[in-house]
Amino acid sequence: MIREETIMLGTINSEILFLQQEDQIKAGLLDMKMVMEITENTYKMLGQGQIQNPPKVHLGIPAGQVWESFFNTMPCHIAGDMNIAGVKWAAESKKNAWTPGIPYGIDVSILSDPETVLPFCIQDGTIITAMRTSAVAGVQAKYCAPSDTETATLIGAGVIGRTMIMAVCEAIPTLKTIYLADIDLPKARAVAAEYAGKYPVEIIPTADSKSAAAKSELIVGETTARKPFIDKSWVKPHSAIVCVSNEADTDVVKLADVNVVDYWDQIITFKNKAITQVYDAGEITREEVLETSDLVLGKPVRTDDEQFIYACSLGLGALDITVAYKIYQNASAMGLGTRVRLWDKPLWE
């Protein structure tokens, strides 16, 4: 363990390391291979019972209506050798989508000592979210896509579209072609140009996601869609559909030979998810659904390349914290960040 880990547990030091995005990037946050390794290990620990990760709490504004903005609270405790607690404060705003100079989603990650509950690091969570969201989809694609996958369609050319290119290229070594689909074709063209030559694949921008999907073994939805647009007409043998939002409808779930979720205990609490609706209707059982932890722990998923597999995710706070902890370690070793204090001496003890 590095020095920062050794002195952290049980400390009464109120010092906090603050890391802004620029510090995180210097500390390796854009290393998708690293983030995917952390992602697989986190799901392994989750499956082994080393992580407490209660379902996220959602606060939509305005209350009881279609939200204009929202905040999610995502706490967790990582046991084992890591032994840290943390929380991700995740937020999105529709207004930000057309406001220059500000991301659509704005997140903050807080790392804390589980014994004294003192925070020891606060860092931007926005890029962590983008990296680990795509890493989850990448891990699911690794286990769910046909073994000879050469073509993928990625639907959405926003922030996650960028990191998804990174993730599927790491996950699928046989990949030769990516269709990057977005209804805003110039946007897709710009992202395709940005990533041209960075991976040994051809990236083709398109506005016709369904036609591209028909030519692909892997389809990944990475949009901000509130209503499904992937229906049963998209489903075919010898393929996988992986969704990070609400792209697929209930028929896709019902037609799948295998269904995979990132974390059952959480996703089942979100009633807008297609798999939750199918489960609540009694059309699928808990025992029929695999979790990403099952995949990384070696449970068979795809037993035949002709199967159609559907996988979805909702976001796991533990992933934000394990990635943030690695960045904290790297940044500390590099002397990055700004150190602040909650107090010099607490007024009341």
Query: Do 228 and 151 have their domain in common?
Result: yes
Query: Do 325 and 307 have their domain in common?
Result: no
How far is the C-alpha of 102 from the C-alpha of 234, rounded, in Å?
Answer: 34
Residue 264 near residue 286 (C-beta atoms within 8 A): yes
How far is the C-alpha of 18 from the C-alpha of 22, rounded, in Å?
Answer: 11
Asked if residue 286 is part of any domain, the answer here is yes
Query: Do 11 and 69 have their domain in common?
Result: yes
Q: Shortest CA distance to 308 belongs to which of 242, 225, 215, 212? A: 242
**pLDDT tens, residue by residue, 173-215:** 999 999 999 999 999 999 999 999 999 999 999 999 999 999 9
Query: Do 254 and 106 have their domain in common?
Result: no
Whether the bond into 62 is cis, omega within 30 of 0:
yes
Asked if residue 349 is part of any domain, the answer here is no
Tokens 């009341």 correspond to 348
Q: What is the pLDDT of residue 324?
A: 98
What's the half-sphere exposure (Cβ side, CA atoms, 13 Å) at 90?
23
Boundaries of domain holding 84: 3-128+317-341
How far is the C-alpha of 165 from the C-alpha of 157, rounded, in Å?
Answer: 10
Return left, alpha or beta for 135; rule: phi > 0 is left, psi -120 to 50 is alpha, else beta. Answer: alpha
Query: Do 279 and 322 have their domain in common?
Result: no
Asked if residue 245 is part of any domain, the answer here is yes
DSSP state of 346: -
Burial (Cβ within 10 Å: 0-12, 13-18, ≥19) of residue 210? middle
Rg (CA), the chain: 20
Query: Do 89 and 237 have their domain in common?
Result: no
Helix (H, G, I), strand (E, B) or coil at 139: helix
* Ranges of the chain whose pLDDT falls below 70: 1-9
Asked if residue 346 is part of any domain, the answer here is no
Asked if residue 223 is part of any domain, the answer here is yes
Query: Do 30 and 61 have their domain in common?
Result: yes
Asked if residue 37 is part of any domain, the answer here is yes
Beta strands at 308-312 and 258-261: parallel, antiparallel or unpaired: parallel
Asked if residue 255 is part of any domain, the answer here is yes
Helix (H, G, I), strand (E, B) or coil at 221: strand
151 φ, ψ to 5°? -130, 135
Query: Do 163 and 254 have their domain in common?
Result: yes
Query: Do 141 and 186 have their domain in common?
Result: yes
The model carries a pTM of: 0.94
Q: What is the pLDDT of residue 3?
A: 34
For the chain, how many structural domains are there in total? 2
Asked if residue 348 is part of any domain, the answer here is no
Query: Do 48 and 170 have their domain in common?
Result: no
Q: What is the pLDDT of residue 226?
A: 82
Domain containing residue 288: CATH number? 3.40.50.720
Note the Cα 349 to chain centre separation in Å.
39
Query: Do 145 and 19 have their domain in common?
Result: no
Q: What is the pLDDT of residue 11?
A: 79
Domain containing residue 37: CATH number? 3.30.1780.10
How far is the C-alpha of 111 from the C-alpha of 109, rounded, in Å?
Answer: 7
Query: Do 308 and 160 have their domain in common?
Result: yes
